[in-house]
Amino acid sequence: MLLEEFRKNIKSLPDVLPWAGLVDDGIALTKSGGFLAAFEVRGPDLDSATREELVSVAARINAALRLTDGWAVYMDATRRISPEPVLAGHYPDRTTKLIAQARALAREGESAGFETRHVLSLLWHPDPDAAGKTEAMFVEGGDTAGVETRNLQRFKSAIAEIADRFSGVVKIRRLTDRVLPDGSLDSPLLAYLQECVTFEQRERFIVPEVPMYLDAVLGRRGVTVGFEPRVGDKTVVAISIHGLPASSHPGILDFIGRLPVEFRWSNRFIMLGQRQADTAIKKYRSKWAQKRYSLMNLLRQANGGQASHTNLDAEAMTQDAVEAEGINSSGLVRFGYWTSVVLVAHDDAQTARDAARAIVKEIVNRGFDAAIEDVNAIEAYIGSMPGNTYANVRRPVVHTLNMAHFLPFTGVWPGPDKHPCPFYPADSGPLLLVKTDGSTPYRLSLHDGDLGHAVIVGPPGSGKSTLLASIAAAQFQYRDAQVFAFDKGYSMQTLVLAAGGEHYDIAGEDATLAFCPLQAIDGEAEQSWASEWLEQLAALQGVECNPGMRKELYRAVVQLARQTPGGQHRTLTDYITVLQDQALREALEYYTLRGPAGALLDAETDGLAEAYFQVFELEHLMQRGEKIVIPVLTYLFHRLETRFRGQPTLLVLDEAWLMLGHPVFRAKIREWLKVLRKANVAVVFATQSLNDLASSGIADAIFESCPSKILLANAEALTESVRPFYEAIGLNRRQIEIVAAMTPKRQYYHVHPDGRRVFELGLTAEELAFVGVSDKISLKRIAALRAADPEGWPAQWLHERGLPDAAQAWMDME
């Protein structure tokens, strides 16, 4: 299969595309006999990394790129307008639905966001004569079949090893085939190559029955050659980056990936072997050495005289070439030819030109030379295709450590476009769309796969309660969602009541809530739990149970259940009447109406409802002492655990330090961290007491089990007393500086295994009316409105907040 490198007059687009066919899962064969594979990668965020970390990352990338001749590396950064995620609309009440609609309406007035996809492609030509053997691969019984099979295996082993090297510094995923439900094969590799050709993104590309002639399959668009080529309906403007600065550093071109423009930034690095590199470097050294002296000075030197003037720039360049020879000989880096092109494509030619000029301006301002191509435009486009090593080859020799600085391995994480948890309804969107600096949006999600535990930490007055309420409201977009929250300070009271949930002010002044813990003791599991819970109550009264006493506790539970098949008369007072151990009877009397805890625990029927949204206010309860607090909370925990049946559920523990002070609660929290992920429950810890969390004894377990850490603004983060806490949870110096510089009550720093971002909630007035209300005056007014109109009070509250349109919208909702 003999082809010209490229034709001046293109007959059709397939003529110049480099791909021949698929020869393995996610591996293409090029017309020149090379094997091509691709990986989707995402590197560290430049804003959150220290200089030392970036230098280390660059060194490891350099080590991964130390390939030899026959290899070429392609690194593409494709920036697109960020699609608006489809958020679920299963809100069960008017209030959370109104909040979601207000947020969506506010986003309509914002400028479009952009996000960048990074793809690393690797090309290997087994030997210089590979092109002559390509045709033989498709001839039955061809002589080279065995050789090519071995070469393919060598390539697969090599790219697996290269991926392993990269995996320590970037997230990397091979573009391999996926089997669809109908049995067909979807090829992300072909979808990516198609996008390189047409500038159009596609979610799927079905592999043809005969996966050959890929140039024709992928090159069906017409091409018009000229200073501004057209591919299909799109005008393509090519920008070449050249004229390297005197020095480089990691992420030096990171700014390109943040521009608010759509483009594909193509980087190609053609590897040279040590001998090839040495020959190329020597040519440079010879060229610059000759420029050190003028012709007259050379004649003087030939006649025994001395040169009167030396070209210092040429002298410096000659010395650089000498140093490059030494570096090449050391084997610590590899040299090659780097070609960098930014391609802008748009249906409107003027829009493409304007975007290209803006990109050139930014690049030039950063110390590089860049220019819009004219005569060379079509060759720049062709040379940008992964697998092409002939068109638009730039000749400056650059080594792999420079490449690690130039290539777009850093990036801004936009968050997942779909909910990461497989237990959530199919195609569920992210939890919240939030605001950020720059042009890359952020989709907030607490989950990492099926694990959604999160910890929120920061000083008082930093916006913790508002964030928790916003997260709770957003959770109800998912079908059958539940939220259970332990609150302190009434910060979630307005939201839960407006959303039709239940608010329990446990042990409050006007509270009527009381529990009947033995009401559901019909089954063996519930009877076992009840006997253990009763033993805990006895222990709190100083009675340690022996085996006989435990047997008696259990016997009395079973007897009470048999005597009351209808579920009535199962109070603690009733239980004591069937209990025969005197010591136990006296100990448990504390929890009947004869004792101080009876008002909470000795009710005829249980006051706890089955609402999908429940908030338990703990401010008054936590003042009662552990003899009451522990039985009440352990019973509540048990009741909630019976509600965890696989629905998308959030369990919010605000001011979690209140519970971390007792071993019973610490043990329960540790258990939840291990087991609740299986029940599709995400536990969200929130605390303003850094010291209490750090000294709780389970801080390590909390941070290890919580993939999401949301840090509130803390001006004291860099102080000697506070900084060690942030270091203990894995933050580096730069990240701690970010926390210290954030604006309280506005900015939050999300640390996630997939990335890190500073974000703002971007609250609307409608949202603030429900998630930002916890002051006593507002709560008192809301109580009065509820008394006057228990069902429609949220509309009146919105009216009083100056939101009549929102009030009417709330009333009009079904």
CA 652/CA 681 separation, integer angstroms: 10
pLDDT value of residue 132: 47
Percent of the chain with pLDDT over 70: 90
pLDDT tens digits, residue range 615-636?
999 999 988 889 999 999 999 9
- Positions in the chain short of pLDDT 70: 1-11, 88, 128-145, 277, 280-282, 284-326, 328-331
CATH no. of 435-513+610-773: 3.40.50.300
pLDDT tens digits, residue range 357-366?
999 999 999 8
Please say whether the beta carbons of 409 and 118 come within 8 A.
yes
Cα-atom radius of gyration of the chain, to the nearest Å? 34
CA 702/CA 608 separation, integer angstroms: 29
Total Cβ atoms within 10 A of residue 499: 27
Return the closest-CA partner of residue 173 out of 115, 254, 119. Answer: 119
Return the closest-CA partner of residue 270 out of 65, 408, 133. Answer: 65
Total Cβ atoms within 10 A of residue 192: 21
Q: Which helix (H) or strand (E) holds 292?
A: none
pLDDT value of residue 342: 98
Please say whether the beta carbons of 343 and 229 come within 8 A.
no
Q: Give ∠ CA 404-407-408 in degrees, rounded to 5.
A: 120
Full-model pTM = 0.89
